[in-house]
Amino acid sequence: MIDINLIRESPEKVKENIKKKFQEAKISLVDDVLKLDKKWRKLKYDEDELRSERNKISKKISEELKKGNKKESEKLKSKAKKIPGEIDNLGAKRKKFEGEIKKILMKIPNIIHESVSLGKDESENVEVKKIGEPKIPGYEIINHAELAEKINGVDFENARKVSGNGFYYLKGDLSKLHSALINFARDYMVEKGFDFVIPPFMIRSEVVDGVMSFEEKDNMMYKIEGEDLYLIGTSEHSLIGMFMSKTLNGKNLPYKITGASPCFRKEVGAHGIEEKGFYRVHQFEKQEMIVICNPEDSYKWYNEMLELSLGIFKEIGIPVRVLECCSGDLGDLKAKSADVEAWSPRQKKYFEVGSCSNLTDAQARRLDIRAEKNGKIYFVHTLNNTVIASPRVLIALLENFQQKDGSVVIPKVLQTYMGGKKKINSKKL
């Protein structure tokens, strides 16, 4: 959520930011806020004036009583009795405006970082780094879904019967490989100094509205019928929510947390949900990282978190690249973001396996997460980044470590988690 003081002081800057994100329809929201804020401030002024008048009357009553002027003091008391009701009436109107202002503020995009390139959509994202050498073997790479069936590692048919499209049963060595990825990611992050947390998998609407935009909520979140609960789309949601309505000690920041959880996503409007495979699914598991830090440190942590992602793929042995998101591809709460993409030797191109984002104080304002340091109270900055999203990385593994005979070599760093197993052999040659 954007700072209303920024709109008061620099409305044109906020409008220009909206233009950079190619969301011209939202420009009028800035003027809407200013109009409502003017009414809010008038009510606040009138409230303060009434409180001041009440204090003056109380003082005057005391003076009249000292003079023995009881009749005059009774008149003043009668007048004073009316003031609390008038204050309550003004306060109720002011709170109504506060609610309307907050709803609009939550629709206005966060201010993007000056380094973000201008572009309308993901087609204009900018490649900034590559790790590993993308290779194309001299034999045909089988589609990951077909290969998963050949190694007897997945059951799509029964999953469709039980749950519908976008679900699957992982079996045998492939299910072990999935767990190996998550466990390796956990240990990797703990070794880097992050605290491991398994969070709640359901959160209240207050938290949902605090961590994501209304558009993301509608397109992603599953609502629990009859309850104020949603299934999480990523552990970031409940991990950030853990700090809601808190004032932290700024000297103890940053908080570095890595969380493992199942993730549930509606994927409304997503292409490919009907296709067999792991690329777009309604349920998967992921290891996530978040950082809550002082404002001056957030871009330092953004760079460090991105490097942690690259490091983990380097250890596994999957070639990846980093695409910085252009202005039009940034979610409303994000000030800067980058996608990590893995190499697909079958498609001869990269595909998204994770993303790193700095949301500056947007989530903190929505959830009222502050810090205090040296007598100053301020909103913290929040960042999140994918460590490993299992199904996407399983695709990359099945393609990059696939052998000519249909077997899959297990990366060395994962073999310990697989009981020393080095290869998964095809069972349907």
Q: What pLDDT is recorded for position 288?
A: 97
Reply yes or no on whether the pLDDT at 94 is more than 90: yes
- 159, 145 contact by CB (below 8 A): no
Q: 4-105: which CATH topology?
A: Helix Hairpins (1.10.287)
Reference 125, options 320, 306, 322, 326; nearest CA is 326
Reply yes or no on whether the pLDDT at 270 is more than 80: no
> What does pTM read for this prediction?
0.90
- 354, 340 contact by CB (below 8 A): yes
Q: What pLDDT is recorded for position 59?
A: 87
Write the pLDDT tens digit of every residue in 404-419. 999 999 999 999 999 9
Write the pLDDT tens digit of every residue in 334-355. 999 999 999 999 999 999 999 9
Alpha carbon distance 192, 311 (integer Å): 11
CB atoms within 10 A of CB 429: 8
Q: CB within 8 A of 13, min separation 6: which ones?
A: 6, 111
The alpha carbon torsion through 195, 201, 207, 209 (nearest 10 deg) reads 120
Write the pLDDT tens digit of every residue in 370-387. 999 999 999 999 999 999
Query: What type of residue is 394?
Result: L
Write the pLDDT tens digit of every residue in 27-70. 999 999 999 999 999 999 999 999 998 889 888 888 878 888 88
- 136, 344 contact by CB (below 8 A): no
Reply yes or no on whether the pLDDT at 73 is more than 90: no
Write the pLDDT tens digit of every residue in 240-255. 999 999 999 999 999 9
What's the whole-number mean pLDDT along residues 359-380?
97
Under the phi-then-psi rule, with left for phi > 0, alpha for psi from -120 to 50, and beta for the rest, what region is 368? Answer: left
Reply yes or no on whether the pLDDT at 86 is more than 70: yes
**What is the token pair recorded at 326?**
């252009």
What's the whole-number mean pLDDT along residues 129-150?
94
Reply yes or no on whether the pLDDT at 208 is more than 70: yes
What percent of the chain is predicted at pLDDT more than 70?
Answer: 98
Reply yes or no on whether the pLDDT at 281 is more than 90: yes
Reply yes or no on whether the pLDDT at 269 is more than 90: no
Reference 10, options 289, 92, 173, 18; nearest CA is 18
pLDDT band at 429 (very low <50, low <70, confident <90, very high): very low
**What is the token pair recorded at 192?**
């880097």
Average pLDDT along the chain:
94
Q: What pLDDT is recorded for position 1?
A: 87
pLDDT band at 274 (very low <50, low <70, confident <90, very high): low
Write the pLDDT tens digit of every residue in 157-206. 999 999 999 999 999 999 999 999 999 999 999 999 999 999 999 999 99
Q: What pLDDT is recorded for position 74?
A: 83
Report the residue count for the chain. 429
Q: What is the 3-state secondary structure (H, E, C) of the chain?
A: CCCHHHHHHCHHHHHHHHHHCCCHHHHHHHHHHHHHHHHHHHHHHHHHHHHHHHHHHHHHHHHHHHCCCHHHHHHHHHHHHHHHHHHHHHHHHHHHHHHHHHHHHCCCCCCCCCCCCCCCCHHHCEEEEEECCCCCCCCCCCCHHHHHHHCCCEEHHHHHHHCCCCCCEECHHHHHHHHHHHHHHHHHHHHCCCEEECCCCEECHHHHHHHCCHHHHHHHCEECCCCCCEECCCHHHHHHHCCCCCEEEHHHCCEEEEEEEEEECCCCCCCCCCCCCCCCCCEEEEEEEEEEECHHHHHHHHHHHHHHHHHHHHHHCCCEEEEECCHHHCCCCCCEEEEEEEEECCCCEEEEEEEEEECCCHHHHHHCCEEEECCEEEECEEEEEEEEEHHHHHHHHHHHCECCCCCEECCHHHHHHHCCCCEECCCCC
User: Token pair 């976008």 is at which residue?
Assistant: 166
Q: 122-424: which CATH topology?
A: BirA Bifunctional Protein; domain 2 (3.30.930)
Annotated domain spans of the chain = 4-105, 122-424
